[in-house]
Amino acid sequence: MNVQKTNNTKDKVRQLQIKLYLSAKKSSSRRYHALYDKTYREDVLKRAWRVVKSNKGCAGIDKETIEEIEEIGVDTVLNGIAEELKTGTYRPQPVQRVEIPKDNGKTRPLGIPIVRDRIVQAAVKLMIEPVFEADFKDCSYGFRPKRNAHQALETIRKACNNKGIWVLDADITGYFDNINHDKLMMLIEKRISDRRILKLIRNWLKAGIMENGKYLNSELGSPQGGVILSGGNFCKCWYCSLLSLVTWVHRYKKYLLSLIQSQFAINHL
């Protein structure tokens, strides 16, 4: 494949995404079973490579950088990835554990996949993101395309100007570190029935972690730092894991409202 030939590549991928989104929006119960073969399409892998390159991430456990892939030849690398996906020989590598400082003095653990795994993750993300995007409420801003925290703050500002008096600030401690893999897969399977896609996602979850030269099993949680199963960049299915949070909020919204009302009454005694 020739990476330099990008005419209409974006349009073709985008057209496919729009088609998936519209069909998912039309039927909230539809499950998709024929997505895997699209992940190794030439135009999809080209787009995935551009996404990974634009993120400017560091190397994983194999020490191979984006620059080194360009030296090898992007065409060569993408052709190799496509062949592995076609033949079913693709196997993800463990992520590299990196600790980054937080404002409160603590650290946040990141899991950095190798660049080639990030390309495959980006390709899968391109195919499944439109499906899950169709299920999200308009009030949801986290890790969504063309949405950000500033937009959420603006929505809150407008609500407050419109006689809104309550802002609920809540957080689930260690949420991405404690995601149950089986429950996450159950959520994904509500929309995706393609067994090869599901196998890829589960393999990423179970790929393991390399920390200080030691291999650690990943039986729980979703590493932040990748393209598709991260809390920092996308699940961004990054997305799929957030579905459980959305479900939790809707399930307990009556309780939350009663709690707010009770607090309001106490403050005005």
Tens of pLDDT, residues 192-216: 999 999 999 999 999 999 998 899 8
pLDDT at 170: 74
CB 191 within 8 A of CB 132: yes
pLDDT at 3: 52
pTM: 0.79
Q: 237 or 53: whose pLDDT is higher?
A: 53
From 27-36, 68-77, 144-153, the region with the lowest mean pLDDT: 144-153
Q: 263 or 20: whose pLDDT is higher?
A: 20
Q: Is the pLDDT of residue 267 over 50?
A: no
The neighbour count for residue 246, using CB atoms within 10 Å, is: 16
What value, to the nearest 5°, has the Cα angle with vertex 81 and ends 80 and 85?
Answer: 120
Determine the Cα–Cα distance for residues 77 and 84; give it in Å rounded to an integer.
Answer: 11
What are the C-alpha distances in Å from 46 to residues 51, 126, 180, 198? 9, 11, 32, 22
Q: Let me know if 21 is exposed, middle or buried by CB neighbors in 10 A (0-12, 13-18, 19+).
A: middle
Averaged pLDDT for residues 102-121: 88
pLDDT at 232: 37
